[in-house]
Amino acid sequence: MSKVIVFDHPLIQHKLSVMREKDTSVKEFRELVSEVATLMCYEATRDLPLEETEIETPVAKAKVKRIAGKKLAIVPILRAGLGMVDGMLTMIPSAKVGHIGLYRDPDTLMPVKYYCKMPKDVAERDIIIVDPMLATGGSASAAITFMKEYGCRHIKLMCIIGAPEGAKKIQEAHPDVDIYIAAMDERLNSHGYIVPGLGDAGDRIFGTK
């Protein structure tokens, strides 16, 4: 069974609370998504392997630790996942970025794929799929399946807000994929929106409402 890791860091919680407010501007919302992604990335990469290497400081030789050349790819689910990419790259600037375009059919709530572009060597990389919202879990589950079809074996899912329904769906369909979130909200409403949530993340990032 995969783990659900909720980041309760005060900075993340404070920023998320401002994001939730309906009067937060598009500019501020976009900045906060990026900042929360940076902070979450810091926590979610805690298990990156280190290797020892010898260097010379101005004073003496020293054995120090560096990240052991682990290859990573960040995969945002378009559109809203795009808002998290820059924040992630602030922490891991050498990561490659693959894109999956999915939208949720408003009637069936099923994900519809419309775009995909991956780095050539994506199967050799550890994958972090990013999307601010995990609602029914349909989009994230489809994205994970898609990455597995590409041959990816080490996949993490990073969302900002999750619903219990979405987390359950991922855990059942993909027990090998850990879920990192900043908050687990109460439930979904009849339109598949997270309650209390923050509304439509894509619209709030791009100002399309």
Q: How far is the CB of 105 from ligand PRP (least distance, A)?
A: 8
- Report the alpha-carbon distance of residue 206 to residue 108 in Å, rounded: 24
- Report the alpha-carbon distance of residue 73 to residue 57 in Å, rounded: 32
Residue labelled with tokens 């598949």:
192
Bond from prior residue into 93 cis (ω within 30 degrees of 0): no
The listed partner (ligand URA, ligand PRP, none) that binds 150, CB under 5 to 8 Å by sort, is none
Angle at 182 between CA 162 and CA 195, to 5 degrees: 40
Number of residues counted as binding ligand PRP (CB under 6 A) = 23
**Is residue 196 within 8 Å of residue 185, measured between CB atoms?**
yes
Q: How far is the CB of 192 from ligand URA (least distance, A)?
A: 6
**Is residue 199 within 8 Å of residue 193, measured between CB atoms?**
yes
Which of 4, 12, 16, 133 contacts ligand PRP by CB under 6 A? 133
Q: Which is nearer to ligand URA, 48 or 110 (CB)?
A: 110
The listed partner (ligand PRP, ligand URA, none) that binds 137, CB under 5 to 8 Å by sort, is ligand PRP
Q: Which is nearer to ligand PRP, 78 or 92 (CB)?
A: 78
Which of 134, 152, 157, 158 contacts ligand PRP by CB under 6 A? 134
Angle at 88 between CA 83 and CA 89, to 5 degrees: 105
CA proximity to 9, closest of 148, 125, 204, 160: 160
Q: Which is nearer to ligand PRP, 103 or 150 (CB)?
A: 103
Task: Please identify the residue of the shown chain whose CB is closest to the bound ligand PRP.
Answer: 202
Site for ligand URA, rule CB under 6 A: 80, 133, 135, 192-194, 197, 200-202
Give the pairing type, strands 99-104 and 155-158: unpaired
List residues binding ligand PRP (CB under 6 A): 77, 79-80, 102-104, 109, 111, 131-140, 166, 192, 200-202
